[in-house]
């Protein structure tokens, strides 16, 4: 995929959340306790995920001058996603070509030229509310940009819709 992607000065690696699918060895959702199907011990999932993420970032670095990484906290891995982001930030702390957002804020924003990027896991807001949330959270960025894009996860289907001028793209969960 990286080889087939177009050339650019910057690439965004956005993890839409729930990468770990389960937050611990109990294999249950943290809020409701629903059982989850997991194929490995939690520590094995963490190790595998970290190896894969580093491999993917290294592949991106071979092609792109700047890599921006965002790991969104999901409803299945709220704390572990933040931990993963912190580990990746520490791993790349001495690499000026990599920026890792490890924040626990469920919404992430980035301005590039006249484009406002947003990403969130997607378990909280209704899709129709995304433009209002973006405009409220980042008033200045909203006003400075002509194009708005939000990438969300959570849902188990792929969809792209225009919601009041914001291109909302749903990237289905890998789980």
Closest CA to 72 of 19, 29, 3: 19
Outline where DSSP puts E strands in the chain: 10-15, 66-71, 98-101, 107-112, 115-120, 147-152, 159-163, 166-170
Total number of residues shown for the chain: 175
Tens-place pLDDT, residues 43-67: 888 898 899 999 999 999 999 999 9
Q: Is 44 exposed, middle or buried (0-12, 13-18, 19+ CB in 10 A)?
A: exposed
Q: What is the pTM of this model?
A: 0.88
Tens-place pLDDT, residues 65-108: 999 999 998 877 778 888 899 999 999 999 999 999 988 789 99
Does the pLDDT of residue 175 top 80, yes or no? no
């Amino acid at each position: 995929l990286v080889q087939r992607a177009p050339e650019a000065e910057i690439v965004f690696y956005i993890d839409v959340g729930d990468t770990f699918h389960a937050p611990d060895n109990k294999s249950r959702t943290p809020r409701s306790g629903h059982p989850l199907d997991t194929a490995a011990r939690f520590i094995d999932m963490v190790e595998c995920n970290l190896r894969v993420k580093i491999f993917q970032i290294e592949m991106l670095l071979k092609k792109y001058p700047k890599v921006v990484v965002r790991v969104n906290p999901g409803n299945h891995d709220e704390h572990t996603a933040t931990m993963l982001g912190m580990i990746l930030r520490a791993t790349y702390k001495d690499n000026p070509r990599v920026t890792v957002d490890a924040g626990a804020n469920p919404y992430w924003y980035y301005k590039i030229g006249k484009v406002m990027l947003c990403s969130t896991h997607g378990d909280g807001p209704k899709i129709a509310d995304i433009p209002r949330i973006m405009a409220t959270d980042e008033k200045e960025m909203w006003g400075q940009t002509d194009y708005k894009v939000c990438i969300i996860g959570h849902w188990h289907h792929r969809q792209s819709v225009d919601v009041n001028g914001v291109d909302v793209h749903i990237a289905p969960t890998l789980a």
